[in-house]
Structure 1
């Protein structure tokens, strides 16, 4: 039995060492004073996680007893009861049939949502997107699904469009080609669903800039920070000076990376940059041709040149 202790401001403590923090022995359920070893309290209930298996199958390793988490996006909250397989004679009737069977009570709407959520999670996992973007994409798809504004469009196309919008709204945009690479839908169909979704939800996304892709492209190309900063400055200055009118931010970023890398010791070819950025070699060359005559004005002042501007390759 536990020894006498005193209660100080609703706090159980040792009478001899009231300031000493007590140690809890989870296995024995005791509260022990670390100074003198006195058992201050016993029969303490452990409120931690209980790692036991409650399934009928003794060989199972799943310690859960309550099923999956509740999904607020589903109509029923995804609350359901799964009856395990019968093991005794009381589980079968006189004809050998199971007395208790699971019923398919999930609505077709919820089944459609669950399928879309799995597709979004699968696509996001392939391009290493965080959970916050998955949650936003799921919410966007839920709004589109409930509004019934995109009838006739496949769920995969709507899921791809919602993932693309979620990436842009979270500040980590991906290109249509990157979404197409992990989706079953064509770029054209995703573009249509993207426009229809923005109109249906009455929302908008920020315009894409060259800086949105620069760090990711340079990281995938294994370029140093000096080249990345130079390419970012080149692309921003070229846009501000209106040197590359009508060119997409992705092609301008690719051309800026090519120019900065060619002036450094870490050179990268058109093909290497095009494969990472998803831009054709011809597109990079065309943007680079427009930027080359103004190269002296585009580079930052602190850029460390390995090759002078005069010796940069001409197209």
Structure 2
């Protein structure tokens, strides 16, 4: 019980002060018992604490909503416990009724074709999330793009796996997460050409505006795979920053440019790494690194 300030007087007897019951949220007079209002907004945390024999137990209100779930996490599920709200066991007739309702509830969840489409697409998205090690923000963005594509009718006649993979690539580009088409193609076991075709379709039909990939964001990934030192990474970042200021990086593949900058930094710092080592870590060819290396040397006077 919480006693309110002295200014809050009972409107009926005008003598007792208003008291709030923290369990039920009722406001009532502490003298005559007159209930002012029965509902009150709960301003506390989203868990309820109650005592049991083993001690205090805290239960949360449920999982958060997510666009990456077929029902956004708002599904109604009839529990398996055959008990009513007070904890008493149900009668045999009511138990059979609840069992029949539970069966129809599970059947109705996969009745709509859209729901089946979302189930298949988002299970594939969850698998790609684990393989590519991307964050929840990227997954949410990919699910949002896929839902928009389904609303526009772009999924009809196309592969669900290819479209969800292209939506994930678009989300990686939008959030500036360094994942290439080759990475997503190998993770989803779909041809790079098919993902690129679906990606261009999403850009054209949904009007998506993608930012230019920053080559500096690719440096850490390549350096980690090639086992390069921190000094080399910082030197490569400086080279790329200078190249961007001189407008050399425009129109170049960011992964190839980052690999070439790392190779230049290796030569400058005397680190023993070949072009093949850096090319394999970046997923580009040695010819690309040689061409970008020559361009960086000429432009930056290295």
TM-score between the two structures when normalised by the length of structure 2: 0.66
Match of 1:191 in 2: 196
Structure 2 counterpart SS, 1:153: coil
2:272 maps to 267
Partner of 1:253: 258
1:102 is the counterpart of 2:103? yes
**Matched residue of 1:48: which SS?**
strand
Match of residue 14 from structure 1: none
When the two chains are superposed, the root-mean-square deviation of aligned CA atoms in Å is 3.9
- Residue in 2 that maps onto 1:283: 288
Question: CA–CA distance in 2 between the matches of 1:91 and 1:258?
Answer: 76
Mapped contact 1:244–1:287 kept (Cα < 8 A)? no
Distance 2:152 2:3 in 1: 60
Residues 202, 124 of structure 1: alpha-carbon distance in 2 compared, 3 angstrom cutoff: same
Residues 1:80 and 2:76 aligned together: yes
Q: 1:289-304 residue pairs with structure 2 within 5 A?
A: 289-293=294-298, 297-298=301-302
- SS for the counterpart of 1:47 is strand
**Residue of structure 1 equivalent to 2:9:** none
Contact 2:65–2:72 (Cα < 8 Å) also in 1: no
Q: Is the 8 A contact 1:70 1:79 kept in 2?
A: no
Name the SS of the counterpart of 1:257 in structure 2.
helix
Structure with higher helix content:
2
The equivalent of 2:182 in structure 1 is 177
Q: CA deviation at 1:289?
A: 3.4
Question: Which stretches in structure 1 are left out of the alignment for 5+ residues?
Answer: 11-45, 53-62, 299-315
Which residues of 2 match residues 1-315 of structure 1 at below 5 A?
A: 47-48=48-49, 70=65, 74=70, 78-82=74-78, 84=80, 90=92, 102-103=103-104, 104-106=107-109, 107-238=112-243, 241=246, 247-293=252-298, 297-298=301-302
* Contact 2:70/2:122, CA 8 A, preserved across alignment: no
- Alignment length, in residue pairs? 245
**2:289 match: secondary structure:** helix
- Work out the CA distance in 2 between the residues paired with 1:227 and 1:51: 59
Q: Once the 2 structures are TM-superposed, how far is the Cα of residue 114 of structure 1 from its aligned partner?
A: 2.1
Measured against aligned partners, the alpha-carbon deviations of 1:273-307 in whole angstroms (never above 9, x if no partner) come to 22221102222223223334556x24xxxxxxxxx
Measure the CA separation in 2 of the matches of 1:102 and 1:71.
25
Contact 1:244/1:291 (8 A) holds in 2: no
- The 8 Å contact of residues 176 and 213 in structure 2, kept in 1 or not, is answered as no
Q: Distance in 2 between matches of 1:47 and 1:64?
A: 6
Partner of 1:21: none
How far did residue 184 of structure 1 move? Answer: 2.3
- 1:41-92, CA deviations, whole angstroms, 9 ceiling, x for partnerless residues? xxxxx9338999xxxxxxxxxx999986555675696423346499x99489
| Superposition deviation, residue 145 in structure 1 | 0.9
Contact 1:137-1:165 at 8 Å conserved across structures = yes
Q: 1:165 to 1:132 in 2, by over 3 A?
A: same
Q: Is 1:83–1:102's contact at 8 Å kept on the other side of the alignment?
A: no
Deviations 1:12-61 (A, max 9, x none): xxxxxxxxxxxxxxxxxxxxxxxxxxxxxxxxxx9338999xxxxxxxxx
Closer, same or farther in 2 for the Cα pair 1:142/1:99, shift >3 Å? closer
Aligned to 1:15: none
